[in-house]
Structure 1
Amino acid sequence: MTEFESKTGELQDRRDSAPGEEHISEHETAGGLSGYVLGFGLAILLTIATFLAARTDLIYQPAVISALVVLAVAQMGVHLVFFLHLTTGPDNTNNILALAFGVLIVALVVLGSIWIMAHLNENMAAMTPHQAGTMP
């Protein structure tokens, strides 16, 4: 892209773009058709690994949940990099901050809900025998 002259005679840079407007080059890891095919292949492999981890006896049974969480985080990473083109470049600062803010809000809602539900029992009034259904 080159510079061009405006009607007022000023030189303007065509490379100047709006925030969030991305130009993915073919030379990036996640750029072009090959990046999409690689991302799709990795997503399929991680999906198959998830089903195998849930069904197989090769993984110590209490560790299956941990394996599924690790595979889910890897799946999110593949989608963020290969399909949403979220990288560490300077043009993605706003996108990363928006993602971090979204994760913070979701974490606050989930953890707050768990905290409230865990403490509901402490604040409940005692049940009468009639409410508990233990009356003869």
Structure 2
Amino acid sequence: MHKYFKLKCNLNKKVKYYVCGFFLSILLTIIPFIITKNGYFSYFIHRFTIIFCAIFQIIVHFICFLHLNNIKKNFWYLISLLFVLVIIFIVVFGSIWIMFNLNHHVLIK
């Protein structure tokens, strides 16, 4: 009986963690949408709000859904995540750089 109760309490912690992460991600999606749709603030504040909510939402996803909250335990997961982010950065900004140079060389006459 004690094992069942301990398992149930642990399961409730995990479910609460996922539900909290889900509601935070929904909230961090709705806030920039409402602020931008209704035009409450200036263009600079819109951009700042969207970037801030996006970065905070990435952090919430890393902690609540990918379980990267313990650095010592998940050291290799963090290293592989950083490697993937570097590769994505190289591919995205390399593609933008190539397209910019192609556009620049085509327009010269």
TM beyond 0.5: yes
Whether 2:94 is the aligned partner of 1:112: answer yes
Give runs of aligned pairs for residues 35-74 of structure 1, distance below 5 A: 35-74=17-56
Using structure 1 for the length normalisation, give the TM-score: 0.63
Shift of 1:33: 1.7
Q: Cα RMSD between the aligned structures?
A: 2.2
For 1:66 and 1:86, how far apart are their aligned partners in 2?
A: 26
Identity across matched positions, percent: 34
For structure 1, the residue ranges without an aligned partner over 5 or more in a row are 1-25, 128-136
Which has more strand, going by share of residues?
Answer: 1
The size of the alignment, in residue pairs, is: 99
Whether 2:77 is the aligned partner of 1:95: answer yes
Q: Following TM superposition, where does structure 1 have runs of at least 4 consecutive aligned residues deviating by more than 6 angstroms? A: none
For 1:94 and 1:83, how far apart are their aligned partners in 2?
A: 17
Using structure 2 for the length normalisation, give the TM-score: 0.76
Query: Which gives a bigger RCO, structure 1 or 2 (Cα 8 Å, sep 6+)?
Result: 2
For 1:66 and 1:106, how far apart are their aligned partners in 2?
A: 23
Q: 1:124 matched to which residue of 2? A: 106
For structure 2, the residue ranges without an aligned partner over 5 or more in a row are 1-9
8 Å Cα contact 2:24-2:60 kept in structure 1: yes
Q: 1:80 matched to which residue of 2? A: 62
